[in-house]
Structure 1
Amino acid sequence: MTLEADVSDLWNRYQEGLTAADATDEDAAVIDEFLAALEAGEVRAAEKTGDDVTSWEANEWVKRGILLNFGLRETEAREYGGVTYHDVLPLRDTDDLGERGTRNTPDGTAIRRGAYLGSDCIMMSPSFVNMGAYVGDGTLVDSCDTVGSCAQLGENVKLGANTLIGGVLEPVEDAPVIIEDGVSLGAGCRVTSGFRVGENSIVGENTLLTPRIPVYDLVEEDVIYGHLPAERRAFTRMVESSVGDHDLFEGGAYKPAVVATHVEEETLEATRREDALRE
């Protein structure tokens, strides 16, 4: 049987009432093999099926495999940095990172089991990458960043300090947050609820990207939800709210929106200089 078939069979038994106490050594071997495949980048929680940023689809069986690792393991006391914590899984072994040129600085970089980091990545402390996340080659995870469960980050992505990439584990049919190749997110950005950022886009600091906030795309002259097209420069602006004429809001009420324009040449040049410094 394939790994997918083994996980699917185990999931069916879990849905029928299988518990951690009932799981056999063979069951444990399946979820261990699954974790190893995630960490090797052999399986992913979502895959791109077309050319557009909207074409990402969840691999439901992979997300079920992640859920099995929570449902069929017991919580245990573990040690990290001299502190005892309790979890169903230990942190990921990082012995393979150095041989691929990937760096995780000391005093606070935590990578949970089942996370993939590519070659020539940088994780600054403190930062955290959760189970099922995929971090592509050459990507920078800066200080105080979180990469949530199942989030998919492409190659040469730059996460500014204090950036949150949300996790989407359930429902299993929903695609997670997607950050495509070459994206740069400014400090303090938040990307949540399965939002998708198209390749080579540059997002200004403290911008919130979520499907509930409209994106005013001035390139195509359209208002879109849930994604930012490729090759955009995006930033937050306030637009008039529908409750603006209420007596309580003297002078009008406003709500956040995202404005997207062409990536300007000087902005690209700044990112090229940053690339040169890293090299």
Structure 2
Amino acid sequence: AAQIGGVLEPVGAVPVVIEDDVMVGGNTGVYEGTIVRERAVLGTGVILTRSTPVFDLPNERVIKAEGGRPLEIPAGAVVVQGSRAVTNEFGKANGLSVYCPVIVKYRDDKTDASTKLEDYLR
């Protein structure tokens, strides 16, 4: 099961918006202050919140919610679970890493073919 959480109050809080044709994998959580644009794919276990930076590998950038704006997952992004190394001395000494969502690619014909079964089951 996936969890999608948003708020109606307080006024000014940013709800969750998931646009058309988004594929949401099991155990995925999308929470307050997140917009997922059309045709994105959220892989199993991806967690998105307004405070979560998303690492976009194809475009070599980090997507963050800034200036009161929501976190926006771009249209067609394929997002999976990832991790990044903890770089302070304690983190290095203990081989620690922190969860982070990673955009590994943008939808293509291969992605569409693998999500087609989901369409048939609906």
Query: Fold-level match, TM-score > 0.5?
Result: yes
Q: Is the 8 A contact 2:86 2:92 kept in 1?
A: no
Distance 2:114 2:92 in 1: 40
How far 1:242 moved relative to its partner?
4.2
Cα deviation, 1:175-234, whole Å, max 9, x if unaligned, reads: 200101110110010011221111100010011011222111123221012221111100
Q: Which residue of 2 aligns with 1:178?
A: 17
Number of residue-to-residue matches in the alignment: 115
2:98 corresponds to which of 244, 255, 259: 255
SS of residue matched to 2:12: coil
TM-score by length of 1: 0.39
Cα deviation for residue 249 of structure 1 reads 5.8
Structure 2 unaligned residues grouped into runs of 5+: 65-70
1:203 and 2:47 equivalent?
A: no
Instruction: Check conservation: 1:177, 1:194, Cα contact below 8 A.
Output: yes
Residue equivalent to 2:116: 272
Matched, 1:193 2:32: yes
Aligned partners of 2:16 and 2:34 also within 8 Å: yes
Q: What's 2:55 paired with?
A: 216
Q: Distance in 1 between matches of 2:117 and 2:18?
A: 21
For 1:221 and 1:171, how far apart are their aligned partners in 2? 35
More strand by share: 2
What are the ranges of 5 or more consecutive residues in structure 1 without an aligned counterpart? 1-161
Contact 1:233 1:264 in 2 (8 A): no
Structure 2 counterpart of 1:230: 75
Opposite residue 259 of structure 1, the aligned amino acid is V
Inter-partner Cα distance in structure 2 for 1:183 and 1:258: 16
Does the Cα contact within 8 Å between 2:14 and 2:32 map onto a contact in 1?
A: no
8 Å contact kept, 1:213–1:256: no
User: Which whole-Å CA distance do the structure 2 matches of 1:239 and 1:276 have between them?
Assistant: 36
Match of 1:239 in 2: 84
Query: 1:130-164 deviations in whole A, cap 9, x for unaligned?
Result: xxxxxxxxxxxxxxxxxxxxxxxxxxxxxxxx111
Q: Contact (CA 8 Å) 1:168, 1:194: kept in 2 or not?
A: no
Sequence identity percentage: 34
Q: TM-score, normalised by structure 2?
A: 0.83
Look at both structures and tell me which one has the larger radius of gyration over its CA atoms. 1
| Higher RCO (C-alpha under 8 Å, 6+ residues apart) | 2
